[in-house]
Structure 1
Amino acid sequence: MSNSLSSRVIGAGEAEARLPESQRERSIALFQHGTLTVKLYAPRGSDPQTPHTRDEIYVIIRGTGDFICAGERRKFGPRDFLFVPAGMEHRFENFSNDLAVWVFFYGPEGGETET
């Protein structure tokens, strides 16, 4: 993963072309700077995620479905913003086959404290 200036503009199509086709989870890290890690996530069939150790933001590129976080179910679609605190159970369900999501992990292990 390169962090050169030229690699700081990454289109969704370019990112998707880098996804491993054989993995069910289909996730790839694209950029890292300080505590920020940016990934593309495009699960197929089911979402096998487990809680993460850092705060996380999803931005839906395309696709629709249900997002379950802390037992609450919400519909999502393109351009939606989803926040998940560190350690929180969450997953995508009933999602379309074209689901593609930007993922932003940031902050310290255990998540940031509320102010």
Structure 2
Amino acid sequence: MRCITLDEALALLPTPDGKRSAAVFEHGTLQVKLYAPRGSDPQSPHTRDELYVVARGEGWFVIGEPAGERSGELSEERRHRFGANDVLFAKAGTRHRFENFSDDLAVWVMFYGPEGGERDE
């Protein structure tokens, strides 16, 4: 069994190269990170499905579903208010970001499944 506390994970940030994300656990296709952006959230779409659990902080989660085969084209963006203990999901390839978030934002990030994400049934 592996256990890591929020304080232990926060102590890893920022990484020596200045990143605001650190891997804390891996098993099979599962990778768990702690992400604690400051000021802005510069992330881009990921190649695997992604689940967030908000450890602390609050703000807005902005997400836009892929609009098809054309690169960079999105359907309408949706905005969701979030706070501590909320769960957020971003399907592989979906643009998403945190906006107007508190200075103490920290989220557990779980990447899982195959490249390209799980199939919709």
Q: TM-score, normalised by structure 2?
A: 0.86
Tell me the alpha carbon deviations over residues 2-52 of structure 1, each in whole angstroms, 9 at most, x when there is no partner. Answer: xxx4xx1001011001112662x5000111100000000000000000000
Tell me the amino acid that sits aligned with residue 36 of structure 2: A
Structure showing the higher strand proportion among its residues: 2
Partner of 1:49: 43
- Deviation string, structure 1 residues 64-90 (Cα, Å, up to 9, x no partner): 100001110010000000010000000
2:9 equivalent in structure 1: 15
C-alpha distance in structure 1 between counterparts of 2:5 and 2:120, whole Å: 32
Q: 2:117 aligns with which of 93, 99, 111?
A: 111
SS of the residue corresponding to residue 15 of structure 1 reads helix
| Residue 21 (structure 2) pairs with residue 27 (structure 1) | yes
Aligned length: 108
* Amino acid paired to 1:20: P
Residue from 94, 97, 101 that aligns with 1:95: 101
Structure 1 moving runs of 4+ over 2 Å: none
Higher relative contact order structure (alpha carbons within 8 Å, sequence separation ≥ 6)? 2
* Structure 2: tracts of 5 or more residues without a match: 65-76
- The unaligned stretches of length 5 or more in structure 1 are none
More helix by share: 1
Query: Share of identical aligned residues, percent?
Result: 63
